[in-house]
Structure 1
Amino acid sequence: MNKRQTRERREYLYRKALESKDRQIYEKKQAIKQALQDGKTIPNELRKEAAQLKKDLIYDEAQKEPETHIDDEYSRAGEVDPKVLITTSRDPSSRLTQFAKEMKLMFPNSQRMNRGNYVIGDIVEACRKSDATDLIILHEHRGQPDGMVISHFPHGPTIHFTLHNVVLRHDIPDRGTVSEQYPHLIFDKFSSKLGNRVI
């Protein structure tokens, strides 16, 4: 298992290095292309490479921005259902435990795990062995849920959300039963680079 993780980490870092190199070449080509379109002189730092890059520009007309490891993050979305593991910080209060149960109903195909005495490393190892795609850890302050960490496997990213004024379902009088139908999400005007990544 350790050898496999080491190999995957090495491949990931190698792919990131290649992406960085491709990104630099792409930016140089775009600078030359812009200079040619505007009728300006090619920047001094690109003059040595300009001849070769101009030749390559002919073939790159259809090229969009180069893909990154970030684009590969959800490459299997739609093929395999995500498996989400939900847990809490150590020694959770009854409210945090209840909140974790409610979060399980919000995320399709998720499982809730009692934290017990497990350390984060053991939980992550369990997620990897069971092919979980995401890990959600819920935190609290004085019995009030106040934080949520979502980590995507195998190589991230990890994001931390701060929660304010959390109202549990159990606090609402005359509540009905929760539908276990998959949620319908609407993302409107998520057109920035970060927005596209979130979607």
Structure 2
Amino acid sequence: MKEYLYRKAQEDRLRSIEEKKDKLKSALDENRLIPTEVRKEALQLQKLLEFDDEGGEGVSSHIDDEYKWAGVEDPKIMVTTSRDPSSRLKMFAKVVSHATHKITSAFKSLVHACKANSVTDLVIVHETRGQPDGLVVCHLPFGPTAYFTLYNVVMRHDVPDIGTMSEAFPHLIFHNFTSRLGRRVSNILKYLFPVPKEDSRRVITFANQDDFISFRHHTYKKTDHKNIELTEVGPRFDMKLYMIKLGTLENESTADVEWRHHAYTRTAKKKKFLSVE
């Protein structure tokens, strides 16, 4: 774990240097004033630019350690709830995982048990007054841990004309996750699911709009050679990322924050974090 965190810190330092080099190169190419934040290091950065070449970007990173078996082996997911769950929360956990795991152990013991049994992801759902309102995805054994707020949760039995829940591995659709953070979030969610067979008729969609992610779950069938018919099987809900931490839940109090959503204090147009406009 220490080696992984050291590697991540080194990547952050190198990324900062690369960003400064890009600013310097852009200023020199466009014959503009060198930005104030890189002026002190301009000569040193210019020497580094002389050794740059193309083709080495993204060769290896800490993400290769986090998800090195993704797509090679099927994920092994543990879904559980906060303590003393209501019947509604247990039902929501069941449709998220197809099986409810009611576990009331402390996080440290729970995470250690998951690691010992080769669980790849621990998913915890939370509630307030019987309404599911939080989702935590902890990737094992190194992390990251992503925290989402849930909105507009509609249970399976509340979806009109509900279809039958298929057991086939689903095809995944990710829409508008185009920023660096967006790609990070799509990976965290994507690797919760096994690789589907080509003939699977089950589809799960994660659609991002204004940093709210809509989760929808459908099956489909061909009605003729040109058309298909979609049937929603639920549940449906919206989710919003508010934090990503390095590491796993048992180290939550000391883990470094990779990204955190901050409330806006100005009236200017809000920035979209998961997409590039």
Q: How high is the TM-score relative to the length of structure 1?
A: 0.76
Gap runs ≥5 in structure 2: 187-277
Matched residues in 1 for 2:134 and 2:28: separation? 51
Give 2:121's match in structure 1, choosing from 134, 137, 150.
134
1:153 aligns with one of 140, 149, 152: 140
Matches within 5 A, 1:1-199: 9-40=1-32, 44-50=39-45, 52-57=47-52, 60-64=53-57, 68-70=61-63, 72-105=65-98, 112-115=100-103, 117-171=104-158, 175-199=162-186
- The Cα of 1:67 is off from its aligned counterpart by 5.6
Assess if the C-alpha contact under 8 Å between 1:82 and 1:134 holds in 2: yes
Counterparts of 1:165 and 1:53, CA distance in 2: 51
Q: Are the aligned partners of 1:88 and 1:100 in contact in 2 as well (CA < 8 Å)? A: yes
Structure 2 distance, partners of 1:194, 1:44, is: 28
Q: Which structure 1 residue ranges, 5 or more long, are not aligned? A: 1-8, 106-110
Q: Which residue of 2 aligns with 1:6?
A: none
- Work out the CA distance in 1 between the residues paired with 2:129 and 2:18: 51
Higher helix fraction (1 or 2): 1
How far did residue 68 of structure 1 move?
4.2
Task: Tell me which structure has the larger Cα radius of gyration.
Answer: 1
| Preserved CA contact (<8 Å) 1:150 1:158 | yes
Quote the sequence identity (%). Answer: 50
Q: Quote the offset at 1:161 in angstroms.
A: 2.4
Go from structure 1 to structure 2 and tell me whether the alpha carbon gap of 1:21 and 1:194 turns closer, same or farther (over 3 Å shift): closer
Q: Hey, which of these two has a bigger chunk of strand by percent?
A: 2
SS at match of 2:74: coil
How far did residue 171 of structure 1 move?
4.6
CA RMSD of aligned residues (A): 2.7
CA distance in 2, matches of 1:25, 1:191: 23
State the AA in 2 paired with 1:56: F
**C-alpha contact 2:127 2:134 (8 A) present in aligned 1:** yes
How many corresponding residue pairs? Answer: 183
Give, in angstroms, the shift of residue 112 of structure 1: 3.8
Asked if structure 1 preserves the Cα contact closer than 8 Å seen for 2:24 and 2:42, the reply is no
TM-score using structure 2 length: 0.57
